[in-house]
Amino acid sequence: MCCSKLFLYFPIVLSLLTKQCLGLSPVILIPGDGGSQLEAKLNKTEVVHYICAKTSSDYFNIWLNLELLVPFVIDCWVDNLRLEYDNVTRTTKNPPGVDVRVPGWGNPEPVEWLDPSHTSTGAYFNTISDALVKMGYIRNVSIRGAPYDFRRAPNENGEFFVKLKSLVEETYNMNNKSSVTLLVHSMGGSMALHFLRQQTQSWKDQYIRRMISLSTPWGGAIKALKVFAIGDDLGSLMLRESTMRTEQITCPSLAWLLPSPNLWKPSEVLVQTDKYNYTINDFQKLFIDMDLPNAWEMRKDTEKYSRDFTAPGVELHCIYGYNISTVERLVYGPGTWLDGYPTLASGDGDGTVNLRSLSACALWTKRGGRPRSLNGRAVKSVPLKGAEHLRILHDPRVITYIQTVMAH
């Protein structure tokens, strides 16, 4: 009886909750590379190690699951999460016997916490959400989440963009027809930019209040080259770059994040060796010389997205860090070749993305991209000294800025 009454009054409760947020622009959180929970279910006939499970009775958390990122077990994780590329269909698929899905569409929890157990290591959008709740926002009503398979680029994420449009409209209607703020991080900003370019200006004027971007690599990053070359340990001492690389180089999103010709000149050397100096025009030769032919194929599949540099057509707050050492060139010493370990020459950025890419949003103002007034400007750049690429999500300066913007 009690449960049935609660269910009966739920629409009234929801309406009251929504009214608490009257006047506030509802928020949709769009995460970056590695910023969504992923679940997997196994039904394999072969495994890479005797300790690897062949089957699972149900879906289990595969990202982020620290228990799977330990020696030996990580080999199972890599084999389950890697993608297989088909250069005929120009698409990727999961390995045989592996099904990977993205849980919790619309729910902010899978992008607030990468680890469902809410360990501090898996904290993502949680600090920002907590700050919004203090302002009167309500999870699942005026704070929504848009997780996606971050291994893939826009060419394989068509369903995500369709669902995102529906989520925006649904959130708009749930919140007294208040236009929506897209709050994005890293590659999530690039995904949101592509999404907005697909929409008509009249749709954006009605449904999108603004976009707040954190650490977006508008024109890619040299670090993507570094990952293709030697991998990335995600800043963990217990992970080996070479082991992680086996999975990382199968992801089309990594090819999408390669430096854009919009921001890097053909004369700039990106990979230096004593035999050949590779520029942005030499990716085909570079990947063939690295024995990574699929990397070049994936680059061809995604290149059109990195060349397009039209403005998003909405009010944009572009927040990013600087004054942190960031890789800007791979240098292989004399006598070494591309299968060796390079010296990482560094420049300015946020530790992951180069400054020129982070700050490229300012070019839209210079090119007249002014679809909506923002104190006379459509784009506001907010550079923050020392704001690291991932930690920016928990930076007090960022939290304060977001609260100030969202209060208006």
With cut-offs at 50, 70 and 90, classify the pLDDT of residue 2.
Answer: very low
Write out the two tokens for 355. Answer: 């400054």
Per the listing, tokens 């907005």 go with 196
Residue 172 contacts residue 318 (beta carbons within 8 Å): no
- In whole angstroms, what is the distance from residue 186 CA to residue 389 CA? 8
pLDDT for position 374: 47
**Can the peptide bond before residue 254 be classed as cis, meaning omega within 30 degrees of 0?**
no
Nearest CA to 124 out of 8, 213, 37, 220 is that of 37
Residue 252 contacts residue 152 (beta carbons within 8 Å): yes
- In whole angstroms, what is the distance from residue 346 CA to residue 322 CA? 13
Write out the two tokens for 165. Answer: 């449009």
- In whole angstroms, what is the distance from residue 286 CA to residue 226 CA? 12
Query: Can you give the pTM of this predicted structure?
Result: 0.92
Cβ-Cβ contacts under 8 Å for 269 (sequence gap 6 or more): 277, 278, 279, 329
**Coil, helix or strand for 6?**
helix
Enter the DSSP assignment of 53.
Answer: -
> Is the pLDDT assigned to residue 107 strictly greater than 60?
yes
Triad 192, 189, 180: Cα angle to 5°: 55
Q: Please, is 360 exposed, middle or buried when counting C-beta atoms within 10 Å of its C-beta (0-12, 13-18, 19+)?
A: buried
b or e along 294-315 (b: 16 or more beta carbons within 10 Å of the residue's beta carbon)? Answer: bbbbbbebbbebbeebebbbbb
Backbone angles phi, psi at 271, to 5 degrees: -130, 120
Q: Where do the structural domains in the chain lie, given as residue ranges? A: 24-35+102-221+307-406
Backbone angles phi, psi at 391, to 5 degrees: -70, -15
First CA to last CA distance, the chain: 43
> Is the pLDDT assigned to residue 56 strictly greater than 50?
yes
pLDDT for position 296: 97
The superfamily (CATH) of domain 24-35+102-221+307-406 is Alpha/Beta hydrolase fold, catalytic domain (3.40.50.1820)
Which tens digit of pLDDT belongs to each residue from 187-238?
Answer: 999 999 999 999 999 999 999 999 999 999 999 999 999 999 999 988 776 7
For residue 61, the cross-strand partners are 39
With cut-offs at 50, 70 and 90, classify the pLDDT of residue 367.
Answer: low
> Is the pLDDT assigned to residue 185 strictly greater than 70?
yes
Write out the catalytic residue numbers.
186, 350, 389
Residue 270 contacts residue 280 (beta carbons within 8 Å): yes
Which tens digit of pLDDT belongs to each residue from 120-172?
Answer: 889 999 999 999 999 999 999 999 999 999 999 999 999 999 999 999 999 99
Backbone angles phi, psi at 247, to 5 degrees: -85, -40
- In whole angstroms, what is the distance from residue 194 CA to residue 197 CA? 5
Which tens digit of pLDDT belongs to each residue from 289-340?
Answer: 999 999 999 999 999 998 888 999 999 999 999 999 999 999 999 888 898 8
Per the listing, tokens 């499970």 go with 53
pLDDT for position 19: 41
> Is the pLDDT assigned to residue 12 strictly greater than 70?
no
Enter the DSSP assignment of 175.
Answer: T
**CA dihedral sign of residues 201, 203, 209, 210:** negative
Strands annotated E in 160-289: 180-185, 208-214, 271-272, 277-278
> Is the pLDDT assigned to residue 349 strictly greater than 60?
yes
- In whole angstroms, what is the distance from residue 344 CA to residue 327 CA? 6
Residues in the chain: 408
Percent of the chain with pLDDT over 90: 84
